[in-house]
């Protein structure tokens, strides 16, 4: 497992846990001013087929953060991601990206899905170049080469997705999402379908990519260890409807806190149901 590797401006191992108490209306994270927020959610709820799926959620993701969202299946994590991506509109509230309301998907927010979802009729290069169609040819070629190098896929440029291993496919999907230089990278359990060894390597690689590119990452997972080792900040979600039950910076006994938060929420739900 890669060790938590915070950026220079964050003191390593300083055990800063600023966990807000779980409550019906979770307080916004103590992030920088709104002007610097890459993503901001204000009173966001999502009702899907007459059932509340998410919220209300208030959340500020400052630029440059690696935020992991952890919670059990069906708690609304993926709904949260699709609202930020613009795949679905919020039922109430506003989602802001770089201060502007999100009205649909766009190249400022790259998405990596659980399945790589590469276009099988395009080569690896072709997939990476998909988001660069409006750039001049020379710039496009240069950017594709840069991303191939960044993700260690130089030798696979001409291969088709079905000729790649699972890890290579997911790397190609990450390269494709990063190609248009998004400000935010949204990842929906991207390593969930990989074997344990590949997953560990990919976790290290995504941390490196995050450090090297400065992209803001919103990373969804149901794996507590993955959430706490990767993120600079972890949000625990319980639901449906998904609500923030813990919002904490990485360090110290965070992992136990996250596990306790999830367990408490689960037993509270079981109690309410019984």
Stretch that binds other proteins, among 35-43, 127-135, 220-228, 253-261 (CB under 8 A): 127-135
Q: Which DSSP state fits 41? A: E
* 160 touching other proteins, by CB under 8 A: yes
Least spacing, CB of residue 23 vs other proteins, in Å: 33
Query: Which CB atom, from 142 or from 253, has the smaller least distance to other proteins?
Result: 142
* 162 touching other proteins, by CB under 8 A: yes
Query: Which of 63, 57, 23 lies closest to 41, judged by CA?
Result: 57
Least spacing, CB of residue 146 vs other proteins, in Å: 17
48-65 core/surface letters (b: 16 or more CB in 10 A; e: else):
eeeebbbbbbbbbbbbbb
Query: Which CB atom, from 76 or from 180, has the smaller least distance to other proteins?
Result: 180
Q: What is the dihedral of CA 106, 30, 5, 178, to 10 degrees?
A: 0
Query: Which CB atom, from 57 or from 179, has the smaller least distance to other proteins?
Result: 179
* 192 touching other proteins, by CB under 8 A: no
Least spacing, CB of residue 14 vs other proteins, in Å: 36
Residue 149 token pair: 């190098």
| 112: CB partners within 8 A, 6+ apart | 170, 173, 174, 177, 185, 186, 187, 188, 190
Least spacing, CB of residue 117 vs other proteins, in Å: 4
Least spacing, CB of residue 180 vs other proteins, in Å: 6
| 213: CB partners within 8 A, 6+ apart | 178
Among 134, 196, 197, 274, binds other proteins (CB under 8 A): 134
Residue 80 token pair: 């949260």
Among 28, 31, 180, 190, binds other proteins (CB under 8 A): 180
Size, binding site for other proteins by CB under 8 A: 31
| Residue spans of alpha helices (H) in 86-123 | none
Query: Which CB atom, from 70 or from 185, has the smaller least distance to other proteins?
Result: 185
């Amino acid at each position: 497992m890669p060790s938590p590797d915070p950026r220079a401006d964050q003191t390593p191992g300083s055990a800063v846990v600023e966990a807000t108490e779980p409550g019906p209306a979770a307080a916004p994270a103590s992030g920088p001013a709104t002007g610097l927020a890459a993503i901001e959610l204000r009173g966001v709820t999502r009702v899907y087929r007459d059932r509340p799926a998410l919220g209300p959620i208030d959340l500020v993701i400052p630029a440059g953060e690696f935020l992991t969202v952890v919670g059990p299946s069906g708690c609304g994590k993926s709904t949260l991601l699709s609202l930020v991506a613009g795949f679905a509109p919020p039922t109430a509230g506003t989602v802001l990206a770089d201060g502007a309301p999100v009205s649909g998907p766009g190249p400022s927010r790259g998405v990596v899905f659980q399945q790589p979802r590469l276009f099988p009729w395009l080569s690896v290069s072709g997939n990476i170049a998909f988001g660069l169609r409006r750039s001049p040819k020379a710039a496009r070629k240069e950017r594709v080469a840069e991303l191939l190098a960044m993700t260690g896929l130089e030798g696979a440029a001409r291969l088709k997705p079905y000729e790649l291993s699972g890890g290579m496919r997911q790397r190609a999907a990450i390269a494709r999402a990063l190609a248009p230089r998004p400000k935010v990278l949204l990842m929906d359990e991207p390593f969930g379908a990989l074997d344990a060894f590949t997953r560990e390597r990919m976790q290290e690689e995504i941390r490196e990519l995050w450090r090297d590119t400065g992209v803001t990452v919103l990373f969804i997972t149901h794996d507590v260890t993955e959430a706490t080792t990767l993120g600079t900040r972890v949000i625990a979600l319980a639901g449906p409807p998904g609500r923030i039950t813990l919002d904490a910076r990485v360090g110290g006994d965070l992992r136990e806190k996250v596990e306790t938060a999830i367990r408490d929420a689960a037993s509270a739900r079981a109690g309410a149901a019984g």
